[in-house]
Amino acid sequence: MFRARPEVRPATVEVFVEGSPVLVPEGATAAAAVLLAGLPAIRETPVTGSPRLPLCQMGVCFDCLAEIDGIPNRQACMVTVAPGMRIARQHGAREALR
């Protein structure tokens, strides 16, 4: 009646979240990598210091701001992972890029 479906595993990419290697599905976002890494927060709000993790996953809330490959203020939900990508916590308030 039912047939077992073959297990399909997507290709993975290794990225580094806070220096730790994390395997994520190819085509996933940096925000997904942060969530898969199990971090308690990727940034804190500058006013209250409340911890934040990616929320909306579509670029509206800015709760996923992170430093990606050395560039601060990146919306992790809008960046597709690449092999060797380095994702780090956003510290303090955003600053204008010079």
The distance of Cα 49 from the centroid of its chain, to the nearest Å, equals 20
State the pLDDT at residue 9: 81
pLDDT digits (tens, 9 = 90+) for 23-38: 999 999 999 999 999 9
**Domain boundaries, given as residue ranges, for the chain:** 12-89
Reply yes or no on whether the pLDDT at 46 is more than 70: yes
Rounded mean pLDDT, 75-79: 97
Query: Are 52 and 39 contacting, i.e. CB atoms less than 8 angstroms apart?
Result: no
Reply yes or no on whether the pLDDT at 81 is more than 90: yes
Rounded mean pLDDT, 39-56: 89
Query: How far is Cα 22 from Cα 24, in angstroms, rounded to an integer?
Result: 6
For 12-89, the fitting CATH number among 3.10.20.440, 3.30.70.1110, 3.40.50.10300, 3.40.1080.10 is 3.10.20.440
What are the backbone dihedrals phi and psi of residue 31, each rounded to the nearest 5 degrees, phi first?
A: -65, -40
The whole-model pTM stands at: 0.83
